[in-house]
Structure 1
Amino acid sequence: MTATERDAVEAFRRDVVEPSMKALVIIDFWAEWCGPCKALSPVLEKVAADYADKGVVLAKIDTDKNQFIAAQFQIKSIPTVYAMFQGQLVADLTSARTESQLKAMLDQILKQLPVAGEAAEVEAEIEPLIAMGEEILAEGDGERALAVFDQIAEVAPDHPAVLSGRVRALVAANRTDEADAALAALPAELAKLPEIERAKSALELARDAKPVDDLAGLAAEVAANPDNLDKRFELAGGQMAAGDRDAAADSLLGIIAADRDWNEGAARQQLLKLFDVVGLEDPWVSAQRRRLSAILFG
């Protein structure tokens, strides 16, 4: 092997093989005189840019300047496009000449390989921090939870769970105007996500749940006159404002059992908001849903 060939191998190892240990490397064998290569090049560059956060990178090999490398891959015509992962060729992408074709092939490859893209790395980094923020929020410490979510937002400012947690922390800290402004500033594509809907429910619930000065007195009044659903709904709001979700659920379920259509289904709507705020995967919500189903369909 000549010195030039050794340099070419070292450059290939550095620029292609080493990145392929973590990323999916698209190898584009091309040359200046090749018309089809010039037509394909912008397609490859755009797709590689679009898939960068999924762990895809592009490496271009000029076959005229790297004849030894081209020979090792037995390149007989160009453009030739391969995909490499962990030092091994995993696919021949040469037949993909359009953006949609190339993306379809990459999607199939990425489903089968443990490629660690930037998005996955960020997700792994912030996941325990989000869990910590949610735990603090569940304890009712809105200001502390807000500090955690603000810190995560510096790394992942557009992450739906982070945005949701931050808004809900503002609500828990009684900073509802700021929570409202944060929701209003979100782009339309984020505003429709389930995580953001959860934050909206938290804000709506906070505005609907009015604190009651004498909660025990109101509870006694409802107990003495259980058919007064207006008072029972007021009690549910006071219980939610006090953070007593068990008592609030009991009051709302009591209204639904007495008259499921009362006030255009207000009790059921409020209960569903409460479920959304607590988290639909929470065991408490599952238990309350079973109670609701027993009332509605039992």
Structure 2
Amino acid sequence: MSEQPSINARGAVDLSSLTDQSQQPQGRPAGAAPAGASGSAAQQPGADTWSVSIQPQQLQQVIQLSAQVPVLVLIHGADDTSAQFRETLESAVDAQGGRLVLAQIDAAASPELAQQAGQLPVVTAFLAGQPIGEFDATAPAEQLPQLVTQIMQLATQNGITGTVPPQGRKAGTAEGASEPELPPLHQKAHQALEQGDYDSAIAAFEQAVREKPDDEDAKLGIAQVKLMKRTQDVDLAAVRQRAAEHPDDVQAQTQVADIDVLGGHVEDAFARLVRFIQTHPGDDRETARRHLVELYSIVGDSDPRVAASRKRLASALF
């Protein structure tokens, strides 16, 4: 990205005081997942995690997830207070089983961002791509689960009630310890992604396919990274407005489909493009069809939403 991302947006509410306004009901720890919450973290504590370490260049990409779930961005240092913040927030977030995400940025990786953030550690909460509040080291660590609960309530009030899949597995779990090492070119691609270098990641995956044409994981990686690259700098509100104002613009419709898939609104993305294909013959139809097929590959053929959409696509085409 050409500009350093900003965390401490003006107008963000200081959430630290929320913990003084309500007490957690007895019988369930603050921040615990409600009865019936989906997600393996709620059922198997310590396995899956919804906390991920990111580079500053990846910040805007992660914030796009806040169209579906609250996103907490933690900028931390190497001090004991930061370590306690990280541990407590990770536990509170993972207990929600995918109903919010914690993105962590090491202040050492971005001195400018750390200086902008001020006192460390600092957390900014995002909903629908916008900062809705922040809190820092002045909030006692033991009150952080209550703040997570308050943020979940704010999300519900604003109609953001989705879930996202685990972002990884916690270190030390049996499955994580037994995972095979990635092939060299896949490792190169993932390292490039960690640096926010999408072009290098795509090039590494493409090289993997050239060397092994049946490398389905590399093909999927290419599609996924291209999606991330296409959406890295988009203005969510502007994209949706353009699509609403220009229903016959295939590029506008495919852009909204991209951000819907990235935000977890898979069925909405598929339905939008199938509708476009039904009503637009010619080159635009083929452009939309190819784009839809690429999104199918990203979601995966085993996903029932893909199978259902393929049937609707066949009807639209024939």
TM-score by length of 1: 0.40
Greater helix share, structure number: 1
TM-score relative to the length of structure 2: 0.38
Structure with larger RCO (C-alpha < 8 A, sep 6+): 2
User: Which protein has the larger Cα radius of gyration, Structure 1 or Structure 2?
Assistant: 1
